[in-house]
């Protein structure tokens, strides 16, 4: 596999960063997870826009233009003869000393890994996921905004470990007020009385690129959609529930905390959304 690293393509074995890189020492950096479908990168511009937002939030000045990063992303797919896959684009603060000070890191690093995708097992897309609520709360935006896709993912990792210990593949994280924020690596939606509802970013949700796509799909299929404050009761008592993410795409949820949601089967609106999503990824996108 060829990895793009600071302007060059290198073999996987040579794709190394310094132990003094603050991305490694402090999680000081940002990233994007992007999908490639049949030679088209899905919503590349939206990913790069979010990357720029994250960079700005961390006062990380990127010395590359959006066009340069886009070109390096496409080239990473071409170099690896990929037509379908998952692209991890990472920017670190770069090499500094052992102190926190980002201003002592003069040059940010960029690397891009274009690889195959490991999805949730296929049967969950037809039979639905059982998920749990975990005790670890989503970080407060006043500490570190969940809207920043930073390399500091311990909050989500701790929640993911709790999910696994409870025998679930994904978990709901509540914010510090007890409202549903999102899942450890996915956004969450419910269907209630024919309406699609999802927590706002201000409740601790990442502004997912797939989440944005669901708003477009809802318009396309004529189902009302809006942001709403959701409690666990709202999810337990919803008619349908599904999760979205670049890796997960659209995946139905049939149980939360051992309680059946709706009929206990993937719902009709969820299935419509999933089908529309699968159509959309094949027609939208940047040709590599
Ligand atoms: N929430 C979190 C915490 C995430 O890490 C992700 C990305 N895996 C998402 C939501 C979904 O965002 P996107 O649709 O942009 O992949």
Residues 261-276: tens digit of each pLDDT: 999 999 999 999 999 9
Instruction: Give the pLDDT of residue 119.
Output: 80
Nearest atom within ligand 1 for CA of residue 156: 3
Is 160 known to be catalytic? no
CA of 49 to the centre of ligand 1 (A): 15
pLDDT greater than 90 at residue 288: yes
Pocket test for ligand 1, best of 146, 185, 284 (most atoms within 8 A of CB): 185
Kindly state the tokens that stand for 72: 């390096």
Q: Which residues of 191-207 are buried (b: 16+ CB within 10 A; e: fewer)?
A: bbeeebbbbebebbbbe
Ligand 1 contacts (CB < 6 A) are 33, 156, 182, 185-187, 206, 208-211, 244-246
Backbone angles phi, psi at 102, to 5 degrees: -70, -25
List, in order, residues 6 or more apart from 187 with CB less than 8 Å away: 198, 199, 205, 206, 208, 210, 211, 243, 244, 245
Q: What is the mean pLDDT of residues 131-148?
A: 96
Instruction: Give the pLDDT of residue 132.
Output: 98
Instruction: Give the pLDDT of residue 68.
Output: 98
pLDDT greater than 90 at residue 172: yes
Instruction: Give the pLDDT of residue 161.
Output: 98
Whole-number Å distance between alpha carbons of 168 and 161: 10
Give the percent of the chain with pLDDT over 70. Answer: 100
Sketch out the chain's domains with CATH numbers.
Answer: 2-115 (3.30.470.10), 124-285 (3.20.10.10)
pLDDT greater than 90 at residue 120: no
pLDDT greater than 90 at residue 118: no
At 18-76, the pLDDT tens digits run: 999 999 999 999 999 999 999 999 999 999 999 999 999 999 999 999 999 999 999 99
- Ligand 1, atom 6, lies closest to the CA of 185
| Contact indicator for 250, 274 with CB cutoff of 8 Å | yes
Instruction: Give the pLDDT of residue 107.
Output: 98
List the catalytic residue out of 56, 116, 149, 255.
149
Average pLDDT value for the chain? 97
Q: Which residue has the tokens 């997912």?
A: 208
Q: What is the mean pLDDT of residues 153-163?
A: 98
Whole-number Å distance between alpha carbons of 174 and 136: 8
At 82-106, the pLDDT tens digits run: 999 999 999 999 999 999 999 999 9
pLDDT greater than 90 at residue 130: yes
Instruction: Give the pLDDT of residue 128.
Output: 97
Instruction: Give the pLDDT of residue 117.
Output: 86
At 227-266, the pLDDT tens digits run: 999 999 999 999 999 999 999 999 999 999 999 999 999 9
- Ligand 1, atom 11, lies closest to the CA of 245
Whole-number Å distance between alpha carbons of 72 and 288: 10
CA of 232 to the centre of ligand 1 (A): 20
Confidence class for position 215, pLDDT limits 50, 70, 90: very high
Nearest atom within ligand 1 for CA of residue 210: 14
CA of 88 to the centre of ligand 1 (A): 13
Whole-number Å distance between alpha carbons of 263 and 130: 13
Instruction: Give the pLDDT of residue 240.
Output: 98
- Ligand 1, atom 5, lies closest to the CA of 185
| Contact indicator for 191, 239 with CB cutoff of 8 Å | yes
Higher pLDDT, 119 or 85: 85
- Predicted structure pTM score: 0.97
- Ligand 1, atom 4, lies closest to the CA of 185
């Amino acid at each position: 596999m060829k990895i793009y690293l600071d302007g060059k393509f290198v073999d996987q074995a040579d794709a190394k960063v310094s132990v003094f890189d603050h991305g490694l020492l402090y999680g000081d950096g940002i990233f994007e997870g992007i999908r490639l479908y049949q030679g088209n990168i899905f919503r590349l511009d939206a990913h790069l826009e979010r990357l720029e937002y994250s960079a700005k939030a961390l006062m990380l000045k990127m010395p590359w233009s959006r066009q340069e990063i886009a070109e390096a992303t496409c080239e990473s797919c071409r170099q690896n003869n990929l037509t379908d896959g998952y692209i991890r684009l990472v920017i670190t603060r770069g090499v500094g000393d052992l102190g926190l000070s980002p201003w002592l890191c003069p040059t940010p690093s960029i690397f891009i890994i274009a690889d195959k995708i490991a999805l949730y097992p296929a049967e969950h897309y037809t039979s639905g996921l059982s998920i749990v609520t975990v005790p670890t709360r989503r970080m407060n935006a006043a500490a570190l905004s969940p809207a920043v896709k930073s390399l500091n993912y311990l909050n989500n990792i701790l929640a993911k470990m709790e999910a696994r210990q409870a025998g679930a593949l994904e978990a709901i994280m509540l914010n510090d007020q007890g409202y549903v924020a999102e899942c450890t690596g996915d956004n969450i939606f419910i269907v209630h009385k024919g309406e699609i509802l999802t927590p706002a970013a201000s409740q601790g949700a990442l502004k997912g690129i797939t989440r944005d796509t669901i708003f477009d799909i809802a318009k396309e299929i004529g189902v009302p959609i809006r942001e709403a404050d959701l409690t666990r009761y709202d999810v337990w008592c919803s008619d349908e529930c599904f999760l979205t993410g670049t890796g997960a795409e659209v995946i139905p949820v049939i149980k939360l905390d051992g309680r059946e949601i709706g009929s206990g089967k993937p719902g009709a609106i969820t299935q419509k959304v999933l089908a529309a999503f699968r159509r959309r990824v094949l027609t939208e996108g940047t040709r590599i």
